[in-house]
Amino acid sequence: MQISRAPIPDILIFEPKVHGDNRGYFMETWRQSWFDEKGIDLKFVQDNQSKSARGTLRGLHYQLQHPQGKLARVVAGEVFDVAVDLRRGSASFGQWYGIILSGDNKKQLWIPPGFAHGFYVMSETAELLYKCTDSYHPEDEHSLLWNDKNIGIAWPLLNAEPLLSAKDRNGKSLLEAPTYS
Q: What is the pLDDT of residue 32?
A: 85
Q: Please give the radius of gyration of the chain, using alpha carbons only, rounded to the nearest integer.
A: 16
The alpha carbon dihedral of 104, 110, 111, 113 has a sign of positive
Residue 133 CB neighbours (<10 A): 19
Q: What is the pLDDT of residue 120?
A: 98
61 labelled catalytic: yes
19 labelled catalytic: no
Contacts by 5-10 with C-beta closer than 8 Å and gap 24+?
6/97, 6/99, 6/109, 7/97, 8/83, 8/85, 8/92, 8/95, 8/97, 9/92, 10/85, 10/92, 10/112, 10/115
- Give pLDDT tens digits along the chain (181 positions): 899 999 998 999 999 899 989 999 898 888 888 888 888 888 999 999 999 999 999 999 999 999 999 999 999 999 999 999 999 999 999 999 999 999 999 999 999 999 999 999 999 999 999 999 999 999 999 999 999 999 999 999 998 889 999 999 999 999 999 999 8
Q: What is the pLDDT of residue 43?
A: 92
**C-alpha separations of 140 from 65, 135, 137, 166, 167 in Å:** 7, 11, 5, 17, 13
Query: Of 61, 62, 97, 117, which is the active-site residue?
Result: 61
Q: What is the pLDDT of residue 36?
A: 85
Q: What is the pTM of this model?
A: 0.93
Query: Of 25, 66, 130, 136, which is the active-site residue?
Result: 130
CA distance 151 to 51: 26
Q: What is the pLDDT of residue 181?
A: 82
- Which domains, ranges and CATH numbers included, belong to the chain? 2-19+28-169 (2.60.120.10)
Q: What is the pLDDT of residue 136?
A: 96
